[in-house]
Structure 1
Amino acid sequence: MSSDTNAFGIDFYSGNKKALLTCIREGVKQPYSFVVTPNVDHLVQLEHDEQLRDAYAKARWRLCDSRILLSLLTRLGVHLDEAIPGSDLTLDLLKWADAERLRVVLIGSVESEAEKLRALYPGIDLYHYNPPMGFIKNPEEVQRCLQFVRENPSELVLYAVGTPRGEVLAAATQPSERTGMGFSIGASISFATGTIKRAPKWMREYKLEWLHRMCMEPRRLAKRYWIDALYIVPAFLREKNARQKTSPAKQES
């Protein structure tokens, strides 16, 4: 684990999106691996969710999903080339899969969104399974998801079931069971199909996408963002103090 890219117990991918996409093109030909996209909400959940921590430890890459988190990491002396929002990466993956006529397994999202996806990206060979609400607490339903992933070979596996469910599913598939790469993508399919409108570009550049999303889905997101805000300030200060304490020790050694 590199100290130059590690903070909040996460070893972050430090490259840019262009380099990442090049690596993904090769990665999909190899034994199965998966990617997670940490943001502030994930940091909150990692505090108490052992399964999510285990999934993070097993992930091939941990991409900084948030420009706000990137700013905090920079202040801590963690230098990443850029934030790589999962919604942006998902669009790039879909465009690539469409152009190259790749196979994609989609776990989650309603059937109407899957149909929109097929219409927007006709070059993709899409295999879709949407588990029922609360599936993650039902071992039989979890196995149905994993069996669907195993029985449908593809270059990409997109887990659109939210955190920590997507990460837990992604980590449960073994490299010996198939090839390809998995991505926990949250609501990215809803953005890709236009079901949910993304923030204007200027709001994204000014780190205000969270505000746009909260206005679009206040009941679901207002409480979550409030909890995130209460968590991140003391967490940042703890991380900063811990790094200041270890720096003199490193200099002495």
Structure 2
Amino acid sequence: MEFTICGARIAVNVPTWAALQARVTERLAQRQGFALATINLDHLVKLRGSAAFRRAYLAQDFVVADGNPIVWMSRLARRPVQLIPGSDAILPLARIAADLGVGIALVGSTEQALAGARSFLEREIRDLHVVCTIAPPMGFDPEGPQATELFERLNASGAGLCFLALSAPKQEILAAAGRRGAPTIGFACIGAGLDFFAGTQNRAPLWARRYALEWLWRAATSPRRLAPRYARCLAILPGQILKAALLRFRSSQV
């Protein structure tokens, strides 16, 4: 599945869970870094308005589908991909790191949330070692001197996998910069996933996720913050559906 935004062609290039696990295993086993982004409608909105975000997405090694609308459009375009939310990817990727003896780092949120997430992960996954936790300060610039210092700390820690919980577009920009500043580390952008583990944020219940209603549950629980975001997402949806239909038509002509 591919999206063209302001001339930038951004593709979901890891279509399945199996493909994601295989590629991450290969990179971590060889101590090669990577940047992983999880695209959704909110990202498509932000990509339209930010050249820095577009550049960061083009620098990602792996892009997966985080959002049912992306999955549905991929099926419409006859280029199907699986749903791989960033929050759901944390445990599988952390288990791969533990199996390979690769230390992990947690970046984002607050010190309290990171401590809670660390405790959860180390209880949940045998032989997992969280070697570094960093909660960047308010106003953190993912391309500035503070980012350079952050990469120095990560490199010194020996981490091979880093989960970034800074929200978009900051985490994707930091992951792209990490390909230069910490090239042996894999950066996975996972949004609020660490806060869910720590209990500092509540994720939508399983029934809401099962019926693709997580967005509605989140909007109802935080309407002032999220209702405008989802309104912008809904505004671009008809155009994106049309583009997916055109991809389907073009495929049928080949």
- Letter of the structure 1 residue corresponding to residue 234 of structure 2: A
CA distance in 2, matches of 1:177, 1:201: 36
Counterpart contact for 1:150–1:178, Cα < 8 Å: no
What corresponds to 1:85 in structure 2?
85
- After TM superposition, the structure 1 = structure 2 runs for residues 34-53 of structure 1, keeping only pairs within 5 Å, are 34-53=35-54
Say which of 2, 6, 11 aligns to 2:2. Answer: 6
Secondary structure of 2:168's aligned partner: coil
Are 1:112 and 2:112 an aligned pair?
yes
- After TM superposition, the structure 1 = structure 2 runs for residues 103-252 of structure 1, keeping only pairs within 5 Å, are 103-122=103-122, 123-136=128-141, 139-174=144-179, 177-241=182-246, 244=249, 246=250, 251=254
Counterpart contact for 1:199–1:212, Cα < 8 Å: yes
Secondary structure of 2:13's aligned partner: coil
Q: In the TM superposition, what is the alpha-carbon distance from 1:150 to its structure 2 partner?
A: 3.2
Q: For 1:102-127, what per-residue CA distance to the aligned partner results, in whole angstroms no more than 9, with x for missing partners? A: 41122212111121123223332231
Taking only aligned residues, the RMSD between alpha carbons, in angstroms, comes to 2.5
Q: In the TM superposition, what is the alpha-carbon distance from 1:221 to its structure 2 partner?
A: 1.2
Secondary structure of 2:131's aligned partner: strand
- Letter of the structure 2 residue corresponding to residue 164 of structure 1: P
Q: For 1:184-237, what per-residue CA distance to the aligned partner results, in whole angstroms no more than 9, with x for missing partners? A: 111111112222222222221211111122223222211111111112222332
Question: Which deviates more from structure 2 when the two are superposed, residues 154-163 or residues 230-239?
Answer: 230-239
- Letter of the structure 1 residue corresponding to residue 211 of structure 2: Y
- Letter of the structure 2 residue corresponding to residue 64 of structure 1: A
CA distance in 2, matches of 1:167, 1:138: 11
Secondary structure of 2:188's aligned partner: strand
Q: For 1:159-199, what per-residue CA distance to the aligned partner results, in whole angstroms no more than 9, with x for missing partners? A: 11111101111111236844131111111111122222222
Q: Give TM-score scaled by structure 2 length.
A: 0.85
Question: Which deviates more from structure 2 when the two are superposed, residues 33-42 or residues 23-32?
Answer: 23-32
Alignment: residue pair count: 244
Secondary structure of 1:63's aligned partner: strand
- Letter of the structure 2 residue corresponding to residue 27 of structure 1: R
- Letter of the structure 1 residue corresponding to residue 22 of structure 2: T
CA distance in 1, matches of 2:80, 2:193: 26
Counterpart contact for 1:87–1:185, Cα < 8 Å: yes
Q: Give TM-score scaled by structure 1 length.
A: 0.85
CA separation of 1:195 and 1:99: change in aligned 2, threshold 3 A: farther
CA distance in 2, matches of 1:112, 1:241: 47
- Letter of the structure 1 residue corresponding to residue 163 of structure 2: L
- Letter of the structure 1 residue corresponding to residue 103 of structure 2: R
